[in-house]
Amino acid sequence: MTEANNMANKLLINDLDVLKHHIAKFYSVVQIQKDVNGQELWTEQLGDKLDPLFGHNHLPLTSPKGFLFAEKEVLYKFDGETFETILPRVHPKVLFGVQACDLSAIAYQDKFFEHDPYYQKRREHILLVGIDCESPCANGFCVQVDAGPHVKDNTADLVLSRLSVDETNEFSEWLVIAQTEKGINSIKGMMLDKADNKHLKRRRELFEKVRSEFVDYSYISNAIEYLNDNSVPAQLWEELSVRCMGCSGCTNLCPTCSCYSTYEVVEKKTVTPASISNEVKLEVTHSETIRCWDSCLFEGFQKEASGHNPSQKAAQRVERFWFHKFSDEYLPEFQRYGCVGCGRCEQTCPGSIGVHSVMKRIDQQCCN
């Protein structure tokens, strides 16, 4: 906490490339890039050769969630005799240019996976460099769920905020705030000017300006109240859930979703142990237990061995998802809602029941 208040850790830079190249000496660079089709994605693929993309215009459909909570990973192996935990092999990576919403989500997942060795192994090798957004994005409403548009305190190692840009000279002035010890270490050795209070003031002004540009989606704030009031009629969930096709797009793309399942990949191997005899062939079972992302919208998600299913109906599952995203009941544990207002579910849902569609409908139904 004191780090953040210490002016020694608030610096200025004109060229982000210089910063990136410095960090790249110790961290492999993961950043938002455009592929050959103009599709944006978080990728380590191109290294640090290209300029980073950032901001409201470049929120990729997939968040950097997968770099921490892996979409698939081996948890442990069995070789016929013993079980062996397989922790991920990692190298230091910097996620360069993460938007405020995704950083809030990572902070949320840090809490959920606090005791998860696999998540934490990856996490401790990651440097988070956040960037303040300068404008609202297409489906975003981070303001209404306290997840942006500027990077929230204590969600990144370094925070970058563009204070000014002079188009003619391509000259930008960036505020660099080192919020953690890891952050401070990452810029050690760089000769950067110190920022002063007028720079911090400028950042605050920009924050107010960006915030005011957001549409106030009143239906979202209203619907959050109705959800917490339990005033959403069951019939509405029935109506909405007919359109849930169980595609799992929402849970895959949601940066705070953390549910997973495990499965075994079993192989029978025939071995001829020399210690016994060449004629003896033993069949040894090798297996890997793998964790993969799951989705609470699947009917089978909560199905029990007997066939009984507490969330048999789609209406129950859809209601549960929104409860997890907007219920006050999670505040004590996570200090924030599950939803960070990124709007990805709205884009990806083929049934038109993403966050905007659902909250609009709830507001419509309940404000009678």
Partner 1 sequence: MSTTQVNSICPFCGVGCGIALVASDNNIIAVQPLSKHPVSQGKLCAKGWNTPFGISRHGRLTQPLMKVDGKFKVVSWQHALSHIAKSLKQFIKESGPQSVGLISSARATNEDNYAAQKFARAVLKTNNIDHCARICHSPTVAGLKKTLGSGAMTNSIDDVGKADVILVIGADPTENHAIIGGQIMKAKLSGAKLIVVDPRQTRLAKVADMHLQLKIGTNIALLNGLLNIIFDHGWQNDDFIKRRCEGYDALKAHVADYTVEKVSKITGIKGADLVKTAKLYSQANAAFLAYGMGITQFVSGTNNVIAVSNLALVCGQIGREGTGINPLRGQNNVQGACDMGCLPNVYPDYQSAIDKQVREKFSHAWQTEVALLPGLTSLGMSHQARHGNFRGLLIFGEDPVVTDPDRNKVAQGMRAMDLLVVIELSMTETAKMADIVLPAASFAEKQGTFTNCERRVQLIHKAVAPPGEAKIDWQILSELANKMGMSELMNWQTSEQVFDEMCQLTDSFSSMSYPRLKQNNGLQWPCNKEFPDGSRCLHTTTFPIGKGKLIPVEYELTDEIPSTDYPYWFTTMRLHFHYGCGSMTRKSPLLERETPIGLLFIHPQDALDLGLKNHQGVTVSSRRGCVETRIEISHQVSPGLLSMPYHFKEAPSNFLTNDAMDPITEMPELKVCAVNIIPLPENQTPRSSVLSDVGRSYD
Which residues contribute to the site for partner 1 (CB under 8 A)? 28, 35-41, 43-45, 61-62, 66, 71-72, 89-91, 242-243, 245-249, 252-253, 261, 263, 265, 267, 292, 294-295, 298-301, 303, 307, 347-352
Tokens at 308, concatenated = 């009984």
| Rounded least distance, CB 291 to partner 1, Å | 11
SS3 167: coil
| Rounded least distance, CB 120 to partner 1, Å | 17
Give the nearer residue to partner 1 in terms of CB position, either 1 or 305: 305
Give the nearer residue to partner 1 in terms of CB position, either 31 or 252: 252
Give the nearer residue to partner 1 in terms of CB position, either 24 or 184: 24
| Rounded least distance, CB 184 to partner 1, Å | 27
**C-alpha to C-alpha distance for 87 and 117, rounded to whole angstroms:** 8
| Rounded least distance, CB 78 to partner 1, Å | 15
CA pseudo-torsion sign 70, 71, 75, 78 = negative
Give the nearer residue to partner 1 in terms of CB position, either 14 or 347: 347
**C-alpha to C-alpha distance for 108 and 259, rounded to whole angstroms:** 13
356's CB contacts (< 8 A; 6+ apart) are 139, 217, 220, 343, 346
Kindly state the greatest CA–CA separation across the chain: 83
Give the nearer residue to partner 1 in terms of CB position, either 211 or 303: 303
**C-alpha to C-alpha distance for 63 and 98, rounded to whole angstroms:** 9
Contact 52, 152 (CB under 8 A): no
Give the nearer residue to partner 1 in terms of CB position, either 122 or 203: 122
Give the nearer residue to partner 1 in terms of CB position, either 171 or 263: 263
Contact 248, 295 (CB under 8 A): yes
| Rounded least distance, CB 45 to partner 1, Å | 6
Residue-wise DSSP of 232-301 = S-HHHHHHHHTT-----HHHHH-TT---EEEEEEEEEEEE--TTT-TT--EEEEEEEEEEEE--TTSGGG
- Tokens 């192996």 label which residue? 77
- The values of phi and psi at residue 201, to 5°, are -65, -40
| Rounded least distance, CB 248 to partner 1, Å | 5
| Rounded least distance, CB 33 to partner 1, Å | 9
Give the nearer residue to partner 1 in terms of CB position, either 65 or 199: 65
- The values of phi and psi at residue 245, to 5°, are -95, 5
| Rounded least distance, CB 261 to partner 1, Å | 7
